[in-house]
């Protein structure tokens, strides 16, 4: 039976990239009746230092972001990773399955560690093993994510395959990444070669789900572009990363294909296209940010939702961890 799992780090403000690449699509599986498990991956967030008060706030606000984006905590399981110890227990097993060489090829580690990899935390290096544990502790079959997580999901499959092979079992499923839509990789508004990220130091590089209408309009107005008007068709966007990014965002926000957007917008100068994009972004995002703010007024309720979700998550993950321990030869409690 299919089971969906995905996670988001409480490592800053939710961005338009998180919304279009992940959150907006999460509600689909839930509404299709597929069992869906969504995690605030707080233990991933601390692979780079987080201010404790800010982390706690970001975790609750992330939960509010999930709910405001249409995830129903009754239908789906919504919880934070640190409340379910099976994630780290499973991650240890996978640390012993994954190979150093596999980890060294991970481009996210290289991007995040930068030039000074020796100073990166061991956790940042091992991040993909914890991510594999997040997914496989639920025997999840489908993982909706943005493009940037493709490599980590391939590693998850490699870990599952190697475990099954090493122990001669067919225990862990080979998980399918689900990367679809017009905005699987939303780019920075300041640099068309970098993805939009909540941990980017420049606030102008991204649209936050908590930004007000004026801020959204200003960020889009100032978004980097080339001086030419939009091309007539989608083909003309190929070598124009900034223009393509804005068109992709428009398409994803408006549930249109890029070709449909170009039929209407082709040939327009940015001075005309940007205000239309800003209006659309405000129209689609304002209700979410209003709902997030409303939910954040009752933090105790959010904490109850996460606690309840964690108990339901644990009921699934605990037996899978016990079976894993059994397969690898641990003596169980009597
Ligand atoms: P950080 O900078 O701390 O890594 P992030 O913005 O990359 O934050 P994550 O928590 O790492 O967010 O990722 C959460 C989900 O959002 C993942 O499914 C990821 O693929 C997706 N995602 C992140 N950035 C983008 C983006 N720019 N476009 C589309 N999807 C994205
Ligand atoms: Mg990320």
Residue 216 Cβ < 6 Å to ligand 1: no
| pLDDT digits 0-9 by tens, 48-74 | 999 999 999 999 999 999 999 999 999
Q: Is 69 in the pocket of ligand 1 (CB under 6 A)?
A: no
- 144, two tokens: 């909706």
**Of 193, 154, 195, the residue nearest 175 (C-alpha):** 154
Query: Is 191 known as a binding-site position?
Result: no
Q: Interior CA angle at 136 toward 134 and 137, to 5°?
A: 70
CB atoms within 10 A of CB 120: 16
Residue 148 CA to ligand 1 centre (angstroms):
7
pLDDT, tens digit (0-9, with 9 covering 90-100), for 162-185: 999 999 999 999 999 999 988 999
Please tell me whether 95 is known to bind a ligand: no
Ordered alpha helix ranges (H), the chain:
16-18, 24-31, 42-45, 52-68, 86-95, 100-104, 107-113, 122-136, 150-167, 213-222, 241-253, 258-265, 270-295, 299-328
pLDDT tens-digit series, residues 189-224: 999 999 999 999 999 999 999 999 999 999 999 999
195 is in an annotated binding site: yes
Q: How much is the pLDDT for 29?
A: 85
Task: Compute the average pLDDT of residues 84-100.
Answer: 98
Cα of 197 vs centre of ligand 2, distance in Å, is 6
Residues 6+ apart with CB under 8 A from 311: none
Among the listed residues 64, 75, 1, 68, the one whose alpha carbon sits nearest the alpha carbon of residue 37? 75
* The model's pTM: 0.96
Domain over 203-294 is classified CATH 2.10.260.10: no
pLDDT of residue 31: 87
Coil vs helix vs strand at 8: strand
For the chain, which residues make up each domain, given as ranges? Answer: 3-178+298-328, 203-294
What percentage of the chain has pLDDT greater than the value 90?
97
Please indicate whether residue 145, judged by its CB atom, sits closer than 6 Å to ligand 1: yes
User: What mean pLDDT value characterizes the chain?
Assistant: 97
Give the domain 3-178+298-328 fold. Rossmann fold (3.40.50)
Which residue numbers are catalytic?
Answer: 112, 195, 198
Q: How far is the CA of 206 from the centre of ligand 1 (A)?
A: 12
pLDDT reported for residue 112: 94
Confidence of residue 145 (pLDDT cuts 50, 70, 90): very high
Looking at the CA of residue 147, tell me the nearest atom of ligand 1: 20
Going by pLDDT thresholds of 50, 70 and 90, the confidence category of residue 28 is confident
Confidence of residue 225 (pLDDT cuts 50, 70, 90): very high
Q: What is the CA radius of gyration of the chain?
A: 21
- pLDDT tens across 270-313, in order? 999 999 999 999 999 999 999 999 999 999 999 999 999 999 99
Q: Using a 6 Å cutoff on CB, does residue 224 contact ligand 1?
A: no
């Amino acid at each position: 039976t299919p089971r969906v799992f995905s996670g988001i780090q409480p490592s800053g403000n939710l961005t338009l990239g998180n919304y279009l690449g992940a959150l907006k699509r999460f509600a689909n599986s839930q509404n299709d009746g597929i069992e869906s498990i969504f995690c605030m991956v707080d233990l991933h967030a601390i692979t780079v230092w987080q201010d404790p008060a800010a982390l706690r706030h970001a975790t609750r606000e992330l939960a509010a972001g999930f709910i405001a984006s249409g995830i129903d905590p009754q239908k789906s399981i919504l919880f934070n990773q640190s409340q379910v110890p099976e994630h780290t227990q499973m991650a240890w097993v996978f640390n012993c399955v994954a190979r150093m060489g596999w980890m060294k090829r991970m481009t996210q580690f290289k991007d995040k560690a930068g030039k000074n990899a020796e100073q990166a935390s061991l956790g940042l290096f091992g991040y993909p093993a914890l991510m594999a544990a997040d997914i496989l502790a639920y025997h999840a079959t489908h993982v909706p994510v943005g493009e940037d997580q493709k490599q980590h999901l391939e590693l998850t499959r490699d870990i599952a395959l190697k475990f099954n092979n090493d122990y001669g079992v067919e225990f862990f499923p080979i998980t399918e990444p689900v990367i679809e839509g017009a905005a699987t990789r939303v780019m920075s508004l300041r640099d068309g070669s970098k993805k939009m990220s909540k941990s980017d130091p420049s606030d102008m590089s991204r649209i936050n789900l908590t930004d007000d209408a004026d801020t959204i309009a200003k960020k889009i107005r100032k978004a980097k572009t080339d001086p030419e008007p939009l091309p007539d068709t989608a083909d003309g966007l190929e070598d124009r990363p900034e223009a393509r990014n804005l068109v992709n965002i428009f398409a994803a926000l408006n549930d249109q294909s890029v070709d449909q957007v170009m039929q209407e917008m082709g040939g327009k100068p940015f001075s005309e296209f940007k205000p239309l994009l800003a209006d659309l972004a405000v129209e689609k995002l304002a209700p979410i940010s209003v709902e997030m703010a409303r939910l954040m007024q009752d933090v105790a309720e959010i904490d109850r939702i996460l606690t309840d979700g964690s108990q339901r998550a644990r009921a699934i993950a605990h037996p899978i961890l016990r079976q894993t321990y059994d397969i690898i030869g641990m003596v169980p409690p009597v």
